[in-house]
Amino acid sequence: MTLNELWFALIAVLWIGYFALEGFDFGVGMLLPPVGRTPRGRRVLINTIGPVWDGNEVWLITAAGAMFAAFPLWYATLFSGAYLPLLVILLCLIVRGVAFEYRGKGSTSQWRRNWDIAITVCSLLPSILWGIIFGSIIRGVPLDAEHEFTGSLGDYFAPFSLLTGLLTFLLFAFHGAVFLRLKTTGEVRARALRVALPTGMLGAVAYLAMVIWMQTFRDGIGGMQLGATSLVVGLVGVVAMAAGVVLAKAGRDGWAFTATAASVVAWATSIFTALYPMVMPSSSDPAGTLTLVNAASGHYTLKVMSWVALFLVPFVLAYQAWTYWVFRKRISTKQIPPTPGEAQDHHPDDDPIDPTDPSGPNRSERSTSGAGAASSGGS
């Protein structure tokens, strides 16, 4: 394996890890209205991802940084051609992070409602746009012989790209709903199942349609040679998504989450296996296609990056695994104390509060607690 191939594989792993981890917290954010119907219910949803959402975004930063250093032409061509969708994603990630931090700072329900809307919208848009962008890469975008993008914004919104955008929306919503099944109890958990089943079934259909449609690109755009690997991996993802529906309905939450994670991993893997040995096929001029060879940095740069990654990546993975282990317990609405300005009366859609239950909010928490989030100010 050459250093070019090694770094293509590492970048693929970083993107796969990003989608597998950020996918479920995008899903949780999108599901605030249908699953978190009450103030406490919404706080439960936010608390499930409060300790991990910012760590998940590290994968995106690392993936983009690795692309910039290892394949600068790939980075430049992608980020210049898709600048508007990527700008929207960046703004959404900024607003979403601010919403998590500032939601619990106000004392009125309107304040929290506005930030809830921001979280929902800024989780929904990136979920769709990431699918559109990566679908466009597979379909091919117009590049000239100098590897300059010669098309328009509309080239990123072709029918196949819109299908992949729909797929990632359904896939992440399903992933998030199953994650909520794993991390919550009571009414929130029940409502998550009612969302998981239809999104999972529709997502499996969209997934299969994408896999079949991708095969029409064989021996086509930019000289791309689709092998059997991308087809097999894609079909594995479809099966995993269908299995996730069955397992979620059966109440096997851990296995269902494993299945949804596998479906996200398979989707992203099918993208990169279809691309190899290219990184960005040209739909207008095969000479403009970017490959592992003509888009890569010099050998010395890749060698230094490899040594740095060898020492740093294990520490990052260990820290993130530790974070998930520490915050592995389930959360319910009875553990969430009211915030200032929130109605003190029990909402009928919340779980009943047992004053003798040590896991519930005690008297001092009810009178003094304001934030109530596991982290990130997500009350």
**pLDDT in the model for residue 353:** 46
Tokens 């969430």: give the residue.
Answer: 336
Report the distance separating Cα 170 and Cα 182, nearest Å. 18
pTM for this entry: 0.84
Q: What is the reported pLDDT for 332?
A: 62
Of 136, 127, 139, 134, which Cα lies nearest the Cα of 156?
136
| pLDDT tens, residue order, the chain (379 aa) | 889 999 999 999 999 999 999 999 999 999 999 998 888 889 899 999 888 888 889 899 999 999 999 999 999 999 888 999 999 999 999 999 999 989 888 878 889 999 999 999 999 999 999 999 999 998 888 888 888 888 888 888 999 999 999 999 999 999 999 999 998 888 899 999 999 999 999 999 999 999 988 887 755 554 455 667 888 999 999 999 999 999 999 989 999 999 999 999 999 999 999 888 889 988 887 888 899 988 888 888 889 988 888 888 888 888 778 877 777 777 666 656 666 555 544 455 555 544 444 444 443 333 333 333 443 444 4
DSSP assignment letter at 370: S
The rounded distance, in Å, linking the Cα atoms of 226 and 377 is 46
Distance CA 188, CA 336 (A): 13
**Per-residue model confidence (pLDDT) at position 341:** 52
